[in-house]
Amino acid sequence: MENIERPLDLLNSAKGKRVLVETKAKKQIMGILRAFDIHINMVLSDAEERNEEGQVQRKIGDVFIRGDMIVLVAPSP
Amino acid sequence: MENIERPLDLLNSAKGKRVLVETKAKKQIMGILRAFDIHINMVLSDAEERNEEGQVQRKIGDVFIRGDMIVLVAPSP
Amino acid sequence: MENIERPLDLLNSAKGKRVLVETKAKKQIMGILRAFDIHINMVLSDAEERNEEGQVQRKIGDVFIRGDMIVLVAPSP
Amino acid sequence: MENIERPLDLLNSAKGKRVLVETKAKKQIMGILRAFDIHINMVLSDAEERNEEGQVQRKIGDVFIRGDMIVLVAPSP
Amino acid sequence: MENIERPLDLLNSAKGKRVLVETKAKKQIMGILRAFDIHINMVLSDAEERNEEGQVQRKIGDVFIRGDMIVLVAPSP
Amino acid sequence: MENIERPLDLLNSAKGKRVLVETKAKKQIMGILRAFDIHINMVLSDAEERNEEGQVQRKIGDVFIRGDMIVLVAPSP
Amino acid sequence: MENIERPLDLLNSAKGKRVLVETKAKKQIMGILRAFDIHINMVLSDAEERNEEGQVQRKIGDVFIRGDMIVLVAPSP
C-alpha cells in the first residue's frame, strides 16, 4: 500500500479501478469506482451484485450508492 | 459512462429516464426520475414496486422517496 | 405529472388530496395531506392504517407522522 | 380538522387532550398530551401502554417520550 | 401533574426520585434520577434492570445511560 | 453516590476504575476506563467481553469503543 | 497501556500495528491500521474478515471502513 495519510486517500487512489462495496443492507456490489464525495456517496460503473460467496446475482451497470449505507470499500488487489 | 466528476452527476444525467431505487425497507421501486435534491430525496413518476426477482408487485404512479431511506439508484441502461 | 423542479413540489401539489405514506415501521397510512414541513413531518386527516394487501386495519383520523420515519409518499392518482 | 398550516399545529391543538403515540419500539402509548418541543419530545399524563389490539398492558402515569423514537401521534377524535 | 411547560420539566421534577427508563435495546432500568442533560443522557443510582414483567434481573448500582438510546422515562407515582 | 451535577461527572469519577459497558450490538465489555470524550467514545484497558450471564467470552485488552454504539456504562461498585 | 488522554490517542498509537475492528454488521475485520479521521473512518491493509470464533473467512487486502459502522477497535497486544 502506498502512503495513506487520510482514509479518503485510499478511495482516491482507487478511482477508475474495481472495488467491492458492502452495504448495511448486506449486499455486496462490485464495480469500477467513478466518483465519490465527502459523504462517501459513490458512483460505480459495470457494477454487479454478488452474494456472500462472491457469485454474481445481478448486473446493475451504473449505480449511485448512498454513503451512509456503506460499511466498507475494498479496492481489488 | 460519460465523465462523472461527482456522484450526483449520475443522478443529473438520469433525469427523465427510468431508474431502479432500492430502499432500506428492502423495496425496489422502478420509475422515471423527475427530481432529486441534495438529501437525495427523489420524485419518480410511473413508479412500480418490484420484488427481488424483478416482478411488478404494485403500481404506485407518482412517488416521493425520502433520501435517507435510499440504498442505491441505478439508471436503466 | 406537471413539471416538478424539486422533490417537495410533489408534496405541495398533493396538499388537500389523498396520499399513501409508508413508514419505516412497515405501516401504510392512507389519508388526506394537510401539512408538511422541510423535515417531511406531516399531518394527514381521515387517515387509516392499511396492511400490505391494502385492506383497512384501523381508522386513525387526524395524525402527525414524524418525517424521519417516512420511506415514501404516493399521492392517489 | 381546523386549519393546519404546519404539522406542529396539530400537536398544539391537541394539548390537554388524549393522544395515541406509536414508537419505533412498536409500543402504543395513550395519554393526555401535556407538553412537546421542536424535537417532538413529549410529556403525557395518565399514560398507559397498549398492545396492537388496543388493550391496556400497563399503567405508566406521567411519561417523557423521546421525540426521535416517535413514529406517529394521533389525537383522539 | 404540576404545570409542565416543556418536556424536560418532567425530568427536572423527577430528580432525586425513582424513574423507569426504557431503552431501544428493550431493557427497562429502574433507579433514582441523579442528573440529565439536553441530550437526555442520564445518571441513575440504585439502578436495577427489569424484564418486561417488572421482575428484577440484575442490580447495576450507578449507571450512565446514553440519551439517544432512551425511548421513555416514567417517574414513579 | 457523590454529588453528580451532570451525567458526564459519573464517567469522570470512574476514570481508572472498572466499568461495564453495554453496546447496541448487545455486547457487554468490562474493563478499566482510561479516557472518554464528549461523544462518549471510550478507551478501556484490560477489557474482556462477557455474555449476558456475566461469563468472560473473550479477552480484548485495550479497546476503543465508539460512543454512539454505547447504551450504558456502569462503574463497578 | 501508556498514558491515554483522549480516546483517539489509542488509535494514534495503533497506527502501523494490527487491530481488530468490529462493525455494526457483526463482522470482525483484522488488519494493519494505516489511517483514520475524526469520524473514525479507517483504512486497514492486509485485512481479513473473521467469524466470531476468530477463523479467517476471507482475505480483503486494503479496505476503507466507514466510521459510523464501527463498534470497537482493539489493537493486538
Query: Distance between CA atoms of A77 and A1, rounded to whole angstroms?
Result: 10
Binary contact (A35, B4; C-beta < 8 A): yes
Question: For residue F51, what pLDDT is reported?
Answer: 83
pLDDT grade for D2, boundaries at 50, 70 and 90: low
In the predicted structure, residue F7 carries a pLDDT above the cut 80: yes
F29: closest CA among F39, F40, F18, F38? Answer: F18
In a domain, C64, yes or no: yes
Mutate to test the interface with A, among G40, G64, G71 (most CBs of A within 10 A): G64
Question: For residue D26, what pLDDT is reported?
Answer: 78
pLDDT grade for F2, boundaries at 50, 70 and 90: low
In chain G, what residues touch A70 (CB-CB under 8 Å)? 66, 69
pLDDT one-digit tens code per residue, E2-60: 678 899 999 999 999 999 999 988 789 999 999 999 999 999 999 999 987 778 889 99
Our CA-based measurement puts residue E57 at a distance from the nearest CA of chain D, in whole angstroms, of 19
Average pLDDT, chain F: 92
In chain G, what residues touch F63 (CB-CB under 8 Å)? 10, 72-74
The DSSP code sequence of D15-46 is: TTSEEEEEETTS-EEEEEEEEE-TT--EEEEE
Question: For residue E55, what pLDDT is reported?
Answer: 87
Mutate to test the interface with C, among D24, D33, D71 (most CBs of C within 10 A): D71
> Dihedral through CA A65, CA A69, CA A71, CA A76, nearest 10?
-10
User: Across residues B53-75, what is the average pLDDT?
Assistant: 93
Question: For residue C5, what pLDDT is reported?
Answer: 87
Three-class DSSP category at E43: strand
Q: For residue A53, what are the CA distances in angstroms to A49, A50, G8, G53?
A: 11, 8, 35, 19
Kindly list the residues of chain A whose beta carbon comes within 8 Å of any beta carbon in chain B: 23-25, 27, 29, 34-37, 41-43, 45, 47, 60-66, 68-69
User: Across residues G8-21, what is the average pLDDT?
Assistant: 96
Average pLDDT, chain B: 92
Question: For residue A39, what pLDDT is reported?
Answer: 93
Are chains A and E in contact at 3+ CB pairs closer than 8 Å? no
For residue F50, the tally of other CB atoms under 10 A from its CB is 16
In the predicted structure, residue F46 carries a pLDDT above the cut 70: yes
In a domain, B2, yes or no: no
User: Across residues B67-73, what is the average pLDDT?
Assistant: 95
In a domain, F65, yes or no: yes
In a domain, F22, yes or no: yes
Q: Which chains touch B (3 or more CB pairs under 8 A)?
A: A, C
For residue F17, the tally of other CB atoms under 10 A from its CB is 10
In a domain, D28, yes or no: yes
pLDDT tens digit at each of 77 positions of chain A: 667 889 999 999 999 999 999 998 878 999 999 999 999 999 999 999 998 777 888 999 999 999 999 999 999 97
pLDDT grade for F41, boundaries at 50, 70 and 90: very high
> Is residue F12 within 8 Å of residue F34, measured between CB atoms?
no
More confidently predicted of G12 and C3:
G12
pLDDT grade for C27, boundaries at 50, 70 and 90: confident
In chain E, what residues touch D41 (CB-CB under 8 Å)? 7-8, 40
C-alpha cell at C21: 405514506
In the predicted structure, residue D55 carries a pLDDT above the cut 70: yes
Binary contact (C64, D6; C-beta < 8 A): no
Question: For residue B16, what pLDDT is reported?
Answer: 96
In a domain, A70, yes or no: yes
C-alpha cell at D28: 402504543
Kindly list the residues of chain B whose beta carbon comes within 8 Å of any beta carbon in chain A: 1, 4-11, 20, 22, 24, 26, 40, 67-68, 70-75, 77
In a domain, C2, yes or no: no
In a domain, C1, yes or no: no
pLDDT one-digit tens code per residue, G18-75: 999 999 887 899 999 999 999 999 999 999 999 877 788 899 999 999 999 999 999 9
C-alpha cell at A33: 469506482
In chain G, the number of structural domains is: 1
pLDDT grade for D53, boundaries at 50, 70 and 90: confident
More confidently predicted of E57 and F8:
F8
User: Across residues C15-41, what is the average pLDDT?
Assistant: 94
Question: For residue F47, what pLDDT is reported?
Answer: 97
Query: Distance between CA atoms of A64 and A42, rounded to whole angstroms?
Result: 6
Q: Which among G25, G36, G62 is the nearest to A71, CB-wise?
A: G25
Q: Which among E9, E20, E70 is the nearest to D66, CB-wise?
A: E70
Q: Which among B7, B22, B75 is the nearest to A35, CB-wise?
A: B7
Binary contact (G77, F65; C-beta < 8 A): no
Binary contact (D62, E70; C-beta < 8 A): no
Which residue segment(s) compose the domain that E32 sits in? 7-75
- CATH number for position D18: 2.30.30.100
In chain E, what residues touch F8 (CB-CB under 8 Å)? 37, 41, 64
Average pLDDT, chain C: 92
In chain D, what residues touch C36 (CB-CB under 8 Å)? 7
G71: closest CA among F64, E64, E39? Answer: F64
Question: For residue A75, what pLDDT is reported?
Answer: 96
